[in-house]
Amino acid sequence: MDRSTLPIPPAPFQGKIERTAKDSTPDFPKGVAAPEGAPNVLLILTDDVGFGASSTFGGPVQTPTMQQLADNGLRYNMFHTTALCSPTRAALITGRNHHSVASGVITEFATGYPGYNSLVPASAGSVGAVLKENGYNTSWFGKMHNVPDWMSSQAGPFDLWPSGLGFEYFYGFLGGDSDQWHPALYENTMPIEPYLGKPDYILDHDLADKAIAWMRMQHALAPNKPWLLYYATGTAHAPHQAPKEWIAKYKGQFDQGWDKAREETLARQIKLGIVPPNTQLTARPEQIPAWDTLSADQKRLYARMMEVYAGALSYADNQIGRLLSAVKDSGQLDNTLVIFIMGDNGASAEGSQQGTTNEVATAGNGVKESLPFLLSMIDKLGGPLAYNHYPVGWAHAMDAPMQWTKQVASHFGGTRNGLVISWPAHIKDRGGLRSQFAHVIDIVPTIYEAAGITPPTIMDGTEQMPLDGTSLVYTFGDAKASTRHTTQYFELVGNRGIYKDGWIANTTPLRLPWVTIGEEPNPDDFKWELYNISEDFSQANNLAAKNPEKLKELQDAFDVEAKKYNVYPLDSSFASRADPAIRPSLTRGRAEFAYYPGMIRIPEGSAPDFKNKSWTAAAEVTVPKGGASGVLATIGGRFGGWALMLKDSKPVFVYALSNQPEHKFRIAANEALPPGGHVVRVKFDYDGGGIGKGATATLLVDEKQVAQGKIPQTIGIRFSLDETFDVGEDTGTPVSEDYAGAMPYAFSGTLKRFAVVLEPDNLSDEEKARLRNELAKALMAVQ
């Protein structure tokens, strides 16, 4: 069968047609079947997990599921990603370099160049689409961070959602991160709130449940039809959240601190044979404090933050284990190709030097968290009341023995991740180690070769670009096979590298990955380093001064690859790319909006921009006899947001700058509304004079003032990283704990309409520049 053009054209009618059915022979069109013996494919990707985190690769976090797969398959210790979320994920599902598929940076930083606009082209058909057209059932569970901001609402278009990319079933979330306790989930393109009424709900468990149910259904109904199940956890991206008992497993296990933990990890890696015996532990950057210089309180807090991270990753591994057990119990494991990538990039250094309990407030909105406050939250870390992230020092430790962290595409701390492949029917060297150079673009070619599928040249009428990756099937039976992936470039936000035949040349970072504001370097200002990776596993010995000829050779090679794969123009900026004005928008130029009950889960980028300006919003309501309560409209949640509501028929406006008690503000009327029709309005008068300044909120009922209050500091950059604008109820977390037990606190009266009018922001050019800087900080936290 010719599979080079997809969809595969139907075969001609083979029956016979006469004047009557009695004299005719029927012939049903035959569906496309997968190649004989094609395996099921279980593709697993975790989030923000460095090479030195998982116990399978010598790290301190126990991952017995991944270890079981490694014991029955192969470990790869020279596997690489792009150093960032959206780029890695686009490369993973297409088999092309991230710039080739318009994903040179996260979607929130998209710019109008072919390598950076975040619009994955139709010429790069995804593995979901190709396998579906080749007789597979396809599904996607978990994280999807490749939908552009302006396409992420219920208005669509849905071309770049999983369902538009060939995945027949999607159960997961859009964007960079998700609250495990209150996730903003979609089933296909329908927003759902599965956590309501379930106090013990947690996303990782739910994802496993849904994946198991889908897999069982496919096998029960079509046992001879293979499936693709893409399982992408939000863990271990912040917020680091897990059941208490899983966090408790690590109590006291990180009291030695990040410096000692790095040493212990390298020792285990050498003992296990994960790294060569001569591997060196790269130096800790001087900007990261030595553990021994910290106070006792800091050590106690930071160790606890790492315990939470470890508990979250172990719990996610456990839930993946449930899925694998279900595959085994169904008798399908032997011919299931399992590809487990531990991390889409290195560990995240976006938690600041001291960690945080509220990622968006500290990263974007300028909120400070004192050490006493953080200590007061120590027992809440990992639970629903914290949106926590560990300090930079632990990110560096989780990338041991390499330099740097996530975001830094020039160094292996950002790009090297653990990979395990298991396929019991075909991989006989169980427990083997593979050290061939590999990259995330190699995964799709591996799947196609294993399935006996030729990559299409035309798909849906569009000529397909060639795959950029190299299948890893050649390594399955030969540990000593020569590396076939001999050249690979790296680039993100100006940090560059080029691997070629055992050497890597790379730039020296000019911006720390946990610092997103300040002067934006010129791409030509970066210095270059040179390493012989065949002798220097961890990129520890810079040979640039000793071998300038080799360095120049590789720099020239980078230029060739950059031109070939849409890397140019180089752009090392953050703030200018964070500006929403450079991308399409559903709301730009609009000042008046009207919404109706049931309009929920509108992403912040598709909602009115309530920040740094005056505005007014009015709800037309009818209060029944006996009174009414509930949310009229809200944006954000307990970590930052506002809500207009009735509480026992009394109008209330609540505002949360952050999760800190002194940052919660409540303005409420004294009198209840009588039954009948009313207009409840909030008038938000912004003080002006900059970003995130104060405001006065006035409540009016039928144009009579009923309450007023001062909010000394407002949210200037981003309300939330994962919560939304809702009308008539509150999804996600509550802005005020007053109604936490009544979520979603749907309005019990009649809400006819909710109208919003925005006034101009009147920010100066200098203030707009600062706004872009701060927005860059917030957005980099969602990668």
pLDDT digits (tens, 9 = 90+) for 542-565: 999 999 999 999 999 999 999 999
What is the distance between the alpha carbons of residues 363 and 373, in angstroms, rounded to a whole number? 17
Tokens at 6, concatenated: 């997809």
Percentage of residues in the chain with pLDDT exceeding 70? 97
Which of left, alpha, beta for 2 (phi over 0: left; psi -120 to 50: alpha)? beta
Res. 778: pLDDT tops 80: no
Are the C-beta atoms of 742 and 204 separated by less than 8 Å? no
**pLDDT category of residue 366 using cuts at 50, 70 and 90:** confident
What's the confidence (pLDDT) of residue 431? Answer: 98
Res. 773: pLDDT tops 90: no
Per-residue pLDDT of 515-543, as tens digits, reads 766 667 899 999 999 999 999 999 999 99
What's the confidence (pLDDT) of residue 580? Answer: 82
Res. 213: pLDDT tops 60: yes
What is the distance between the alpha carbons of residues 373 and 353, in angstroms, rounded to a whole number? 15
What is the distance between the alpha carbons of residues 115 and 493, in angstroms, rounded to a whole number? 12
What is the distance between the alpha carbons of residues 90 and 345, in angstroms, rounded to a whole number? 13
10 Å CB burial of residue 147 (0-12, 13-18, 19+) is buried
Per residue in 40-57, is it b (16+ CB within 10 Å) or e — as a string? bbbbbbbbbbbbbbbbbb
* Beta-carbon-side half-sphere exposure of residue 241 (alpha carbons within 13 Å): 27
CB atoms within 10 A of CB 212: 21
Strand pairing report for 432-434 and 74-76: parallel
Q: What is the mean pLDDT of residues 576-594?
A: 89
- The residue ranking higher by pLDDT, 409 or 780, is 409
Diameter of the chain measured on Cα atoms: 93
CB atoms within 10 A of CB 585: 15
Res. 220: pLDDT tops 90: yes
Tell me the pLDDT of the chain averaged across its residues. 96
Residue 156: partners with Cβ closer than 8 Å, 6 or more residues away = 189
What's the confidence (pLDDT) of residue 274? Answer: 98
Are the C-beta atoms of 747 and 754 separated by less than 8 Å? no
What is the distance between the alpha carbons of residues 62 and 18, in angstroms, rounded to a whole number? 69
> What sections of 28-104 are H helices per DSSP?
64-71, 85-94
SS3 call for 328:
helix
Tokens at 338, concatenated: 């399992």
What's the confidence (pLDDT) of residue 767? Answer: 72
Res. 782: pLDDT tops 60: no
CA 428 distance to own-chain centroid: 34
What's the confidence (pLDDT) of residue 776? Answer: 60
What is the distance between the alpha carbons of residues 409 and 404, in angstroms, rounded to a whole number? 9
What is the DSSP code (8-state) at residue 389? B
What is the distance between the alpha carbons of residues 226 and 573, in angstroms, rounded to a whole number? 45
CB atoms within 10 A of CB 781: 25
CB atoms within 10 A of CB 204: 25
10 Å CB burial of residue 225 (0-12, 13-18, 19+) is middle
Domains, the chain, ordered by start = 40-355+390-478 (3.40.720.10), 490-578 (3.30.1120.10), 585-780 (2.60.120.200)
Strand pairing report for 227-232 and 40-45: parallel
Res. 770: pLDDT tops 90: no
Are the C-beta atoms of 80 and 73 separated by less than 8 Å? no
**Beta-bridge partner residues of 421:** 74, 339
Q: What is the mean pLDDT of residues 238-252?
A: 99
CB atoms within 10 A of CB 270: 16
Q: How far is CA 160 from CA 6, 466, 467, 688, 722, in A?
A: 18, 20, 19, 39, 19
Tokens at 552, concatenated: 């120049």
What's the confidence (pLDDT) of residue 6? Answer: 96
Q: Which residue has the tokens 């309530």?
A: 610
Res. 643: pLDDT tops 80: yes
CB atoms within 10 A of CB 248: 11
Q: How far is CA 563 from CA 137, 498, 524, 559, 567, in A?
A: 37, 13, 16, 6, 6
What is the distance between the alpha carbons of residues 283 and 287, in angstroms, rounded to a whole number? 11
Res. 355: pLDDT tops 70: yes
Res. 579: pLDDT tops 90: no
Strand pairing report for 418-422 and 336-342: antiparallel
CA 277 distance to own-chain centroid: 35
Res. 257: pLDDT tops 80: yes
Q: What is the DSSP string of 355-382?
A: -BSBHHHHHTS-----HHHHHHTTTTTT
Residue 60: partners with Cβ closer than 8 Å, 6 or more residues away = 53, 253, 254, 261, 264, 265, 310
What's the confidence (pLDDT) of residue 774? Answer: 61
What is the distance between the alpha carbons of residues 779 and 407, in angstroms, rounded to a whole number? 13
Res. 1: pLDDT tops 80: yes
Which is it for the CA torsion 485, 486, 490, 495, positive or negative?
Answer: positive
**pLDDT category of residue 514 using cuts at 50, 70 and 90:** confident
**pLDDT category of residue 779 using cuts at 50, 70 and 90:** low
Which is it for the CA torsion 122, 123, 129, 133, positive or negative?
Answer: positive
What is the distance between the alpha carbons of residues 350 and 353, in angstroms, rounded to a whole number? 9
Residue 644: partners with Cβ closer than 8 Å, 6 or more residues away = 617, 619, 631, 632, 633, 634, 651, 652, 653, 680, 682
